[in-house]
Structure 1
Amino acid sequence: MRGLSILFPFSVKCIVHLLLMRLSLEAPSIDAATTGSGNETDHLALLEFKAKIVHDPQNVMSSWNDSAYFCNWQSVTCGRRHKRVTILDLQSKGLVGFLSPYIGNLSFLREIRLGNNSLQGKIPAEVGRLFRLQAFELFTNQIEGKIPSNLSLCSNLIVLILEDNKLEGNIPTELANLSKLRQLSLAKNYLTGALPPSIREPEFVGGIPDALGKLNHLSIIGLGVNKFLGIIPPVIYNISSINIFSMAVNMLHGSLPSDMGILLPHLRRLQLQDNYLSNLFNLNEFYISYNNLSGNIPGNLGQCSSLEFLFMRSNNIQGAMPMSLISLKGLRQFDLSQNNKSGQIPTYLGKFALEYSNLSFNNFEGEVPTEGVFANVSSISLEGNKRLCGGIPELRLPRCIIDESKKRKLRLQSPGSLEMKSFRKLSYQRILKATEGFSTANFLGAGRFRSVYKGTLEEDGAIVAVKVLNLQQRGAEKSLMAECKVLQNIRHRNLVRIMTSCSTIDFQGNDFKALVYEYMPNGNLDKCLSLLQGMNIAIDVGSALDYLHHGCQKPIIHCDLKPGNDLLDNDMVAHIGDFGLAKLLSQLTNPIQSSSVGVRGTVGYAAPGNLTLLFDTWFLYILYLLSKFISQFFFPNFFQF
């Protein structure tokens, strides 16, 4: 009995010890570091971490067993004094699995490096208990859910890199309490800004919280490739320590501060591409030489119409020169040397009042212009472009050899058609960006079935008109089909040319259909004209009608001719547009019988196009234009069209 009395208390002690161990595993919220068994807690926490890893292709955790002390396990570093885990470095090990909440029991952790794996699930809230943590790197995984707000309790955190995951929702404002934070990268996620907890869909967007401006020791801020909308909070520019600033590929708009270089004196890298930001329309001088800039020249640089000095020397700028720069007519000095530009030297540069142009050491090819600055050999520099030809004799370039058949083909193509070949398919996102989110500033007009917006394509700055169908309006889709049926086989210099179409769904899951046309910068005929302009436009419109009636395989009746559908290009050449009500006829031999089509045009206005059904002529349309001209100048209240 005495032996049993000695054995029994010992057995109870063992059982109690085992129960305590089990409880510590089932309740990770208890900080085991305070229980006096910290080393064993770290040991058990690491085993639980391993248990959540379902695939270890490099066998990194093969040493994580009782045959060795856990401080000697691969990828685990312990402190010399307390023998507690201080660094967990499993970066780029190909691990598949989930993050165990028991990681919160490694209370002496200073660095967690788990980047470039295939970890899934959410970030455990227990990470917030690691008050000694200085670096938390979880980039390039498949982590989802929200960023835990209690990460803000890791008060010693210096580096927080969670980019390239599937995180969503808002950036917790509590992160502003991380006063020691130096590097913050949340790029390539589905983060949106401050949203209600019930909203999870990535198409909903929100802004960057002002609270980030409190992180006044940041040197790196990376929020690119998310869904942020709105402006960059001005308080961000108060973080003068920033040297890498990346918010590219979002939906940010607004302008940058003109004194940005003063506000951020340590800035080395600025990445803001693929947003809706505007740069400084009143800019007179732009110097970005001797940097490491890459990519294309942004098309909207052409909107800086006051620009006189543009220096982009010694970068890695690529691609062809955007057509949008044709607007920089006041440009005096232009240096694009030592880059990687390709394509032909634009002829519009010869139209400018340039005093100096340096295009040397690029990959330009083809014929050199001979006008303007290119007529003076001392004002241009073209060396290092091995495939140039022509130009003035003083340049001593080889003679250009042009295939005559190719030359004839080029003459047939209207301006801009070559640049548009690559835009046969446009996504909703590209159209949204081109129109700056269908902004009112780009709104051109509306009709019963559609709204029209001006758009600038980011690839080369080409300007287009985007007709967005109002599919809620009955008959809109029928109008679209009629227009496409008519336009697919007709080509004429006085018809508005269609570039492409888009049929998809928008970010809210609604059907979206649009047609993209060449842009007519001089609007339509709803304005005063000179007599000569009126006559020329009448001839243009008549020529187009004659082609529609007699030059097509099947005669086409427009049925909605009116001033708003006659558009004028840069040279005041008229183009007929909007074929949504057009009618294809098998033949046009009996115009009176054809009038059974009925009046299909704009309500309250019998357009002259309907008269063609009766008289098969475009002469009446000339009279219509002249009468409109007379009414505008002499009898403004007499004629009502």
Structure 2
Amino acid sequence: MFVLYVRYFSNTEIPNHLLSPFFFPFSLRYQMGFRSLFLSTILIAFISFGSTTQNFTSSPNDLKALIGFSRCLESAIPDWNSSTSSDYCTWSGVTCVGTRVVRLELGSTQLTGKICESLACLDQLRVLKLSKNLFTGSLPHSLFHLPNLEIMDFSNNQFEGSIDTTMCSSFTQLRVFKLSSNYFSGEIPRNLGDCSSLQHLSINKNNLSGSLPESIFLLQNLNELYLQDNKLSRPLSEGVGKLSNLLEFDISNNEFSGILPNIFGGLTRLKVFYAGSNRFTGPLPASLVNSVSLQMLNLKINSLAGSVNFNCSALKNIVLINNQSNCSVLFSLMNCLRLEGICLGSSDHFNYGETTC
């Protein structure tokens, strides 16, 4: 219990020790307003001191969400003990601001089981990382509507089902979205372009099919786009050229077909382009062979043809196995002074450097 004793001093009665630098680092004249200033300072100090002594008060909804999540697991999280529930902010993988959970990071912890709806009650969650575990089943649709989420990483699990088609109606702050190395099927959500803050998208190594949704080309902040090892098909849209901030783009091991569009002139920051093991035909577009930013290019196992003359001011590695334009490519690469690896032949004996074919 705190007792506050307040005494009013006259203009000239204030003791010298209360005017010392310990209390005030500046000098004041004894004016009428000083009395109220002095009392306010004492009261503020008292209130501040009292607030630091308050006990931890948990958030009932966040606690309930965490306990519900743990009950759906087939394997226990060692220090998640309901008997110490008042201290859930100290549990492993949990980060709080005040009493609200803002980060849940339990990657590579060998967790098994399914994800329950209760996890979606963590409405202040900003980071959700559950990668490299053994989760199964589908993801609750409510999980795709956490309004403050910035990073979602469920990669390297055994999830299945479709990706929520309305996810971006709530994910306005989502920057990183990772669902790679699972068993998701169906098409890429048509409204993906509404995730306007998205910088990294990796949904590779799943069973996704169909074409790229046109809305994806509205993602002006996108730096990394990984779509490899799926069943995506149809010609590659010219809309890709609108992704002006793209640094890495991988569509290898899909079923894309037709001619590579001449869209690389708009991708002035692109450093990595992998499109191997598809069904592309025809010549390489001029904007691709003249790219001044491209460092890594892999177009192996397609049906590309025609003469090629690379302007390789930045190119370091190139892989063009089993295409028909390899001979002309070899001569055009003689002036590629930065080149560290070449792989052009139909077998590994035609390699240079350390490029993996």
| TM exceeding 0.5 | yes
| Counterpart for residue 182 of structure 1 | 199
1:54 aligned onto 2:54? no
1:497-536 counterparts in 2 under 5 A? Answer: none
Is contact 1:135-1:160 (8 Å) kept? Answer: yes
Distance (whole Å) between structure 2 residues aligned to residue 134 and residue 285 of structure 1: 33
Kindly tell me: are residues 289 and 267 of structure 1, through their superposed partners in 2, closer, same or farther at Cα, counting changes over 3 Å? closer
1:215 aligned onto 2:219? yes
Q: Residue type matched to 1:75 in 2?
A: G
| Counterpart for residue 73 of structure 1 | 91
1:143 aligned onto 2:146? no
Q: Cα offset for 1:294?
A: 7.5
SS in 1 for 2:120: helix
1:111 aligned onto 2:111? no
1:412-427 counterparts in 2 under 5 A? Answer: none
Is contact 2:280-2:303 (8 Å) kept? Answer: no
Q: Normalising by the residue count of structure 1, what TM-score does the alignment of the two structures yield?
A: 0.40
| Counterpart for residue 271 of structure 1 | 274
Which structure has the highest helix share of the two? Answer: 1
- Find the partner of 1:158 among 175, 184, 190: 175
Is contact 1:77-1:87 (8 Å) kept? Answer: yes
1:258 aligned onto 2:262? yes
Per-residue displacement from partner, 1:542-595 (whole Å, max 9, x unpaired)? xxxxxxxxxxxxxxxxxxxxxxxxxxxxxxxxxxxxxxxxxxxxxxxxxxxxxx
Kindly tell me: are residues 259 and 61 of structure 1, through their superposed partners in 2, closer, same or farther at Cα, counting changes over 3 Å? same
| Counterpart for residue 341 of structure 2 | 339
1:128 aligned onto 2:144? yes
Per-residue displacement from partner, 1:505-543 (whole Å, max 9, x unpaired)? xxxxxxxxxxxxxxxxxxxxxxxxxxxxxxxxxxxxxxx
Q: Cα offset for 1:279?
A: 5.6
| Counterpart for residue 112 of structure 2 | 96
Is contact 2:273-2:296 (8 Å) kept? Answer: no
Distance (whole Å) between structure 1 residues aligned to residue 190 and residue 300 of structure 2: 36
Q: Cα offset for 1:149?
A: 2.4
SS in 2 for 1:218: coil
SS in 2 for 1:112: strand
Distance (whole Å) between structure 2 residues aligned to residue 307 and residue 165 of structure 1: 38
The answer for unaligned runs of 5 or more in structure 2 is: 1-56
Q: Residue type matched to 2:254 in 1?
A: N
Q: Cα offset for 1:263?
A: 0.8
Is contact 2:271-2:296 (8 Å) kept? Answer: no
Q: Residue type matched to 2:94 in 1?
A: V
Kindly tell me: are residues 268 and 341 of structure 1, through their superposed partners in 2, closer, same or farther at Cα, counting changes over 3 Å? closer
Is contact 2:273-2:297 (8 Å) kept? Answer: no
Kindly tell me: are residues 162 and 300 of structure 1, through their superposed partners in 2, closer, same or farther at Cα, counting changes over 3 Å? same
Distance (whole Å) between structure 1 residues aligned to residue 199 and residue 75 of structure 2: 33
Based on CA coordinates, which of the two structures has the bigger radius of gyration? 1
| Counterpart for residue 168 of structure 1 | 185
Kindly tell me: are residues 343 and 266 of structure 1, through their superposed partners in 2, closer, same or farther at Cα, counting changes over 3 Å? closer
Kindly tell me: are residues 361 and 218 of structure 1, through their superposed partners in 2, closer, same or farther at Cα, counting changes over 3 Å? closer
Distance (whole Å) between structure 2 residues aligned to residue 360 and residue 224 of structure 1: 24
Kindly tell me: are residues 290 and 297 of structure 1, through their superposed partners in 2, closer, same or farther at Cα, counting changes over 3 Å? farther
Root-mean-square deviation over aligned CA pairs: 3.8
SS in 2 for 1:94: coil
Distance (whole Å) between structure 2 residues aligned to residue 311 and residue 279 of structure 1: 21
1:40 aligned onto 2:63? no
Is contact 1:98-1:120 (8 Å) kept? Answer: yes
Distance (whole Å) between structure 2 residues aligned to residue 284 and residue 154 of structure 1: 34
| Counterpart for residue 16 of structure 2 | none
Distance (whole Å) between structure 1 residues aligned to residue 254 and residue 351 of structure 2: 35
| Counterpart for residue 430 of structure 1 | none
Q: Cα offset for 1:117?
A: 0.8
Q: Normalising by the residue count of structure 2, what TM-score does the alignment of the two structures yield?
A: 0.70
Q: Cα offset for 1:138?
A: 0.5
Distance (whole Å) between structure 2 residues aligned to residue 342 and residue 283 of structure 1: 19
1:386-535 counterparts in 2 under 5 A? Answer: none
Kindly tell me: are residues 127 and 281 of structure 1, through their superposed partners in 2, closer, same or farther at Cα, counting changes over 3 Å? closer
SS in 2 for 1:102: helix
Is contact 2:277-2:301 (8 Å) kept? Answer: no
Is contact 2:155-2:180 (8 Å) kept? Answer: yes
Kindly tell me: are residues 225 and 107 of structure 1, through their superposed partners in 2, closer, same or farther at Cα, counting changes over 3 Å? same
Distance (whole Å) between structure 2 residues aligned to residue 191 and residue 174 of structure 1: 16
Q: Cα offset for 1:272?
A: 1.3
Per-residue displacement from partner, 1:192-217 (whole Å, max 9, x unpaired)? 1xxxxxxxxxxxxx222112122222
Q: Cα offset for 1:55?
A: 2.3
| Counterpart for residue 615 of structure 1 | none
Is contact 1:227-1:250 (8 Å) kept? Answer: yes
SS in 1 for 2:231: coil
Q: Residue type matched to 2:341 in 1?
A: N
SS in 2 for 1:54: coil
Is contact 1:163-1:186 (8 Å) kept? Answer: yes
Per-residue displacement from partner, 1:358-414 (whole Å, max 9, x unpaired)? x99769xxxxxxxxxxxxxxxxxxxxxxxxxxxxxxxxxxxxxxxxxxxxxxxxxxx
1:615-634 counterparts in 2 under 5 A? Answer: none
Distance (whole Å) between structure 2 residues aligned to residue 130 and residue 38 of structure 1: 20
Kindly tell me: are residues 119 and 225 of structure 1, through their superposed partners in 2, closer, same or farther at Cα, counting changes over 3 Å? same
Q: Cα offset for 1:256?
A: 2.7
Distance (whole Å) between structure 1 residues aligned to residue 345 and residue 229 of structure 2: 30
Is contact 1:91-1:115 (8 Å) kept? Answer: yes
Q: Residue type matched to 2:279 in 1?
A: Y
Q: What percentage of aligned pairs have identical amino acids?
A: 23
SS in 1 for 2:204: coil
SS in 2 for 1:66: helix
Q: Cα offset for 1:280?
A: 2.6
- The size of the alignment, in residue pairs, is 292
* Greater relative contact order (CA < 8 Å, ≥ 6 in sequence): 2
